[in-house]
Amino acid sequence: MNGFTPSATFVSFIANDTLTGDSYGLLPFQAFGELKSEEWRFAAGLQSDVFNPRKPSGVSLAAMFSSGNTGSFRTQARIERFVKPSSSSEYSFQLALSDPIQSVFGNRDLRVQEDNGWPNVEGRVNMGLGEMETLTGGRKARTFELGSSAFVGQIRTTRSILAPPDPQSPIRTVVDCWGFGVDAAINLTESIGLQGELFTGAGLGEYNGGIGQTFDSVTQQAIRSSGGWGEVFAYLTPKLHVHTGYGIDSPISRAGDTFALTENQTFFTNVIWNWTKTIQISNQVDYRRTNYRSPLLDATGYIFYSEFLWKF
């Protein structure tokens, strides 16, 4: 239609209403419609965030959220512009109005979190250098990509009726939220590459930062946090590839703060076998460490994932 191609995408998992909930059913992951041409894209619906969209190649749907990887999935309307000065370079510009509350992870605080009457504003600029090539495994990518993104918004918190009465805790509070991130990917050869992301911001709980903590329940202030993740990957064959990485999320503690989680770290390594175009078999091992305000609660652990994925 006038140079634009209309399409729609729906992706869902038979899981629970949110990955942190305990009510099993259908979990919508992507659900949006779009109009796209070689220079523009207009889209609306449930999509991955414009803010820090790059994700590590993990087996779990959580993708190291709250341990260095920010950005989630939420309802939004966005506009994108693509500029290609030559075949060896491309620039993209994205702007979105999005729901402040994400759709994948639920809030378990004794306060209700909701929007304050207007959407978050997200923006991103991405630069790709090098010819678009077909690499090992059928991946299409350029030699180098560098992106920078940010968002601003607000969260309104209301004390839950389940919370014990506390005259020191106001019934309703508005928390200002913001974030800034940088992400990059480098293909060193056809089979070996690096990718990663850095972030900083305040009130990042709804973007899976701050170890899922948005605000301090005593000071009623947004929790500042910084962190990031990095990964190296290698395609041993077109169907067999390995990924190893590390992520850290470190909320910044200030005088008077009382939030419980002070640092999350994750090391991971996995082997992914694309048996066919529709079947994938994967195994992953994580080492995780969580630090609490009270050192007596600090915890470490190893997690083994085994995945059989059938796309239909």
Question: 28-32, 199-203, 299-303: lowest mean pLDDT where?
Answer: 28-32
Q: Cβ atoms within 10 A of the Cβ of 270, count?
A: 22
d(CA 38, CA 82): 7
The conformational region for residue 188 under phi > 0 = left, psi -120 to 50 = alpha, else beta, is alpha
Handedness of CA 29, 201, 44, 134 (dihedral sign): negative
Choice between 256 and 51, residue whose per-residue pLDDT is larger: 51
Q: Cβ atoms within 10 A of the Cβ of 285, count?
A: 14
Could you read off the pLDDT of 134-183 as tens digits, one per residue?
999 999 999 999 999 999 999 988 876 666 666 666 778 888 999 999 99
Choice between 159 and 300, residue whose per-residue pLDDT is larger: 300
d(CA 152, CA 96): 11
Q: What is the pLDDT of residue 20?
A: 61
* Whether 167 contacts 123, CB under 8 Å: no
3-state secondary structure of 211: helix
Q: What is the pLDDT of residue 63?
A: 83
- Domain ranges, ordered by start, for the chain: 5-310
225 bridge partner residues = 201, 251
Q: What is the pLDDT of residue 29?
A: 85
Could you read off the pLDDT of 171-217 as tens digits, one per residue?
788 889 999 999 999 999 999 999 999 999 999 999 999 998 888 87
d(CA 209, CA 61): 16
* Whether 248 contacts 225, CB under 8 Å: no
Could you read off the pLDDT of 35-92 as tens digits, one per residue?
999 999 999 999 999 999 999 998 887 888 999 999 999 999 999 999 999 989 999 9
Name the architecture of domain 5-310.
Answer: Beta Barrel (2.40)
* Whether 70 contacts 204, CB under 8 Å: yes
Q: What is the pLDDT of residue 93?
A: 98
Quick one: tokens of 2? 């006038």
pLDDT at 25 over 80: no
Q: What is the pLDDT of residue 103?
A: 76
On the 0-12 / 13-18 / 19+ scale of CB atoms within 10 A, 219 is middle
On the 0-12 / 13-18 / 19+ scale of CB atoms within 10 A, 20 is middle
Could you read off the pLDDT of 260-292 as tens digits, one per residue?
899 999 999 999 999 998 999 999 999 999 999
Could you read off the pLDDT of 94-121 as tens digits, one per residue?
999 999 998 777 655 556 788 889 999 9
Q: How far apart are the first and last CA of the chain?
A: 29
Q: What is the pLDDT of residue 253?
A: 82
Phi, then psi, of 10 in degrees rounded to 5? -135, 125
Contacts of 111 (CB under 8 A, 6+ apart): 157, 158, 159, 160, 163, 217
N residues, the chain = 312
Q: What is the pLDDT of residue 110?
A: 55
